[in-house]
Structure 1
Amino acid sequence: HYFYLILAFIGELSVLGQWALFRHSLPVPEMPLLALFMVLPILYVIPYVFSEVLPPIITRGLTRFAGYWFSFSYYATMLLIPGLLLWIVIRLMGRDDLWQGTVSVYYSAFAFGLTWLLLAVGAWIGHHQVVRTVDIETDKAIDRDFSIAFVSDIHLGAVLGTSFSRQLTRDVNACRPDMVLMGGDIIDGDLQYVLREDSFSGFEGLKAPAGVFAVMGNHDTYGENLALEAEVLGRYGVQVLNGDVVTPIPGVSLFGREDYYIAPAAPVRKADEAAFSIFMEHEPMHIHQAAEAGWDLHVSGHTHAGQFWPNRLVTGRLFALDYGTRTFGKMTAMVSSGYGAWGALFRIGPPPEVVVIRVHKKDSPKEIY
């Protein structure tokens, strides 16, 4: 709750600048427009702070509206910067009349239109998940070629519920994987809301002969009961790995590491050199260590590939790999942009995805999937 109250306070400060920018072009009196802008951050906070007492339909409607407001506010605030620079230049020219009479109106209209365009494009991308395919060859003694469907950052909660988990199940099943891996942040943080709505029930139809496995992420930790979340997921066929190693397919070793947020000092274990070994964690924090420990494949999520442009300028510096596929020594690392989203389904950048990883025996004929 404190996190969202802090966001609301920051939002109140940002809307003052947005009002100053947009008041020049919107056909609304300045004071009513200011009042409207000041209400928006409060509407953002209400469903997150009072989700336990509000009817679910109101919570869901407000959270979806709030998510898109956040996206709109994000870019509107960014557009304040060039507007301020333009105002400074005109003031230095001694042409205050030019700003008041012409430039402020045109720039305000431009900024308002561009923000809505970005909102529309981001909403469209966010609602259209794609399938990204990664092919890997191995000389390990696996019985046969196999495929993995990897999804991360689902973020079930007040915004994304049962219908979204069912959509994920349909999309994953259409890929016909041998196993399914979930890379953490299965919930958005409010476990009780997810349990009341029974959003995990949408995973019940996931079909994977070798099983469905998951690790927890930082947002799962915010739910404050990882054991209960793992237990309920287990009822729907999802096995949570909490530092465990399993053998889903003969010749394949799968390790699910505790999230860095939960156990930052947990050591990186050595891989089974005889098996094709998969290292799964939520945050891509241990790519180099996993490569040094002999793992063949590292999968993770968390970054959302920035979700909003230009956030990848930050995530690209924070992690050895923030999105996509790259080899580190003999290990292939794959970081997903995630299937869901934090806040609204909104993306400016790589789209949400299911990653299908196809593992082939070296020098053997490729199976057709």
Structure 2
Amino acid sequence: MLKFFVVTGIGLALLNGWIIWWLWRALEHTGWLRPMLCLVVAVLGVSFPLLYKLGGDSAIEVWLLRAGSFWLGMLFYVFMLVLIMDIWGLASRLWAEPPVAPRWGGALLVMGLPLVIGCASWFNAANPIVREYDLTISTNDPVPQTYAQSPLILGVLADMHLGRIITAPRLVRAMDLLAPYKPDAVLYIGDIIDDHILVDVEGMAAALARVEPRLGHWVVPGNHEYISGSIKDSLDILRHSGMQVLRDQWRILDNAFVLVGRDDMSRHAFEGTPRKSLPEILADIPHAHRNLPIFVMDHQPSMLDEARTAGAVLELSGHTHFGQLWPFHWVVESMYENPMGLLIKNGLHSVVSPGVGTWGPPMRNTSRAEVLIVKVHFTQTAQ
């Protein structure tokens, strides 16, 4: 983890340094504007990584953290425009044409276009939608009378990342989107909290109280429940808000299905012990319930083959954010069999949500922020 932060820090320093150097050249003869804009970029460039890691909680530190996170979302686009302009200038020299020096109009483009993209991406991230999936699941047991005429309705939230950047009102908005559907259960697929600093547990509890699913609120840890601090403290926050934690555990719900909650794959890196395999988790299910459909909550959609082999019919995941910002969705697509949406393969329905929140930049442009309504129709397997 330390190596990751060091490499990331060096990379951010190089990108921000290049941009500052370009702006210094572009804004020649602009008086105080040149040092002022370069100073702003330098401050924003260090604000997010330093304050996120150091955990500042004063009002000015929180607002600097948020401003730095917004700049982080713009950084790639600003750097790409700067790079294009420098390549253009180099090409002019190679073709023996008069060198093309950066100008303030170019600086306006370099900063203005990413700002427009950033604002649109922020609006997209801050206004989640409801995405619905209708699934048909076969069961060897008779279909429970509860679901003979109407489906099981699951509300699903992933990757809320509550903390200093995204606060409890975003959770209120998400619950208000779910409430009209009257879900039987609400499932939280990890990364619900981003850090322990200024987390409003009472606000979270009030948000959850806006939806009263008869089968309860259930949560599994994600990697940020580990990154944010002690996993015990993270799980205590979730429990105190009204969620029931499943950490390599299962529960029989409504005598209709087995709900399995997996610990996150990052457990080994933080605690030195691996999570249980899915067969190990399922080993002590009573014989009378062995034929019930198995629904798996697993934050990272990295073990779909294990879920298929274990006989799971539904796996709900998040984590990918579908890259969150262009073009990083291409990286995610290369990493996961199902980076977003619904994939049905060999009897397993894999549903991956890009999440209702964001990490780092409070913006997204590769997908919509979303909460899920998953309607499960049970049919009895022909004997």
Instruction: Sort the TM-score into its range (normalised by shorter chain).
Output: 0.7 to 0.9
Q: Deviations over 1:182-238 (max 9, x none)?
A: 0001111x225326x645334440321111111001100123322333234223321
Distance 1:265 1:164, change over 3 A: closer
- Counterpart residue number, 2:87: 85
Distance 1:74 1:199 in 2: 34
Matches within 5 A, 1:1-369: 7=8, 9-23=10-24, 24=26, 29-51=33-55, 54-55=57-58, 57-97=59-99, 99-100=100-101, 107-140=106-139, 141-143=142-144, 144=147, 145-188=151-194, 190-194=195-199, 198-205=202-209, 206-263=211-268, 264=274, 266-269=276-279, 274-362=291-379
Aligned-residue CA RMSD in angstroms?
Answer: 2.6
CA contact (8 A) 1:291 1:330 kept: yes
The letter of the residue matching 1:17 is: W
Q: Deviations over 1:68-114 (max 9, x none)?
A: 011111221232332233223222111134x12xx766544433332
Q: Quick one: distance in 2 between partners of 1:64 and 1:7? A: 19
Q: Please tell me whether the aligned partners of residues 302 and 338 of structure 1 are also in contact (alpha carbons under 8 angstroms).
A: yes
The share of aligned pairs that are identical, in percent, is 22
Q: What are the ranges of 5 or more consecutive residues in structure 2 without an aligned counterpart?
A: 269-273
What is the DSSP-based 3-state SS (H/G/I as helix, E as strand, rest coil) of the residue aligned with 2:198? helix
Q: Which amino acid aligns with 1:317?
A: S
1:91 match: secondary structure: helix
Aligned to 2:271: none
Distance in 2 between residues matched to 1:58 and 1:7, nearest whole Å: 24
Q: For 2:264, what is the secondary structure of its paired residue?
A: coil
3-state DSSP class of the match of 2:183? coil
State the distance in 2 between where 1:43 and 1:234 align.
Answer: 32
* Partner SS state of residue 35, structure 1: helix
* Alignment partners' CA distance in 1, 2:275 and 2:54: 35
* SS of the residue 1:278 aligns to: strand
Q: Secondary structure at the match of 2:225?
A: helix
* Structure 2 contact 190–222 (Cα < 8 Å) conserved: yes
Structure 2 Cα separation of the partners of residues 163 and 152 of structure 1: 16
Q: Which whole-Å deviations, capped at 9, do the CAs of 1:41-85 have from their partners, x for residues lacking one?
A: 233345324435x42x33432222111011111221232332233
CA-CA distance at 1:5 after TM superposition: 7.3
CA distance in 2, matches of 1:232, 1:35: 38
Stretches of 4+ aligned residues off by more than 6 angstroms? 1-6
More moved, 344-353 vs 300-309: 344-353
Paired letter, 1:86? W
Shift of 1:325: 0.6
- Counterpart CA distance in 2 for 1:12 and 1:338 is 29
Q: What is the CA–CA distance in structure 2 between the aligned matches of 1:5 and 1:203, rounded to whole Å?
A: 37
Equivalent residue, structure 2, for 1:367: none
Per-residue Cα deviation, 1:338-368 (whole angstroms, up to 9, x for no partner): 11110242001111110111011349xxxxx
SS of equivalent to 1:247: strand
- In 1, Cα distance between the equivalents of 2:27 and 2:374? 50
Aligned twin of 1:366: none
Q: Is the 8 A contact 1:298 1:331 kept in 2?
A: yes
Per-residue deviation at 1:311? Answer: 0.6
Per the normalisation by structure 1, the TM-score is 0.87
Q: Deviations over 1:25-52 (max 9, x none)?
A: 6955434433332222233345324435
Residues matched between the structures, number: 356
Q: Summarize deviations over 1:244-276 as a string: whole Å, max 9, x none.
A: 111122211110011111145632225965212
- What one-letter code is carried by the residue in structure 2 that aligns with 1:293? A
2:161 is paired with a residue whose SS is coil
- For structure 1, the 5+ residue unaligned runs are 364-369
TM-score, normalised via structure 2 length: 0.84
Query: Offset at 1:323?
Result: 0.7
Question: Quick one: which amino acid aligns to residue 133 of structure 1?
Answer: E
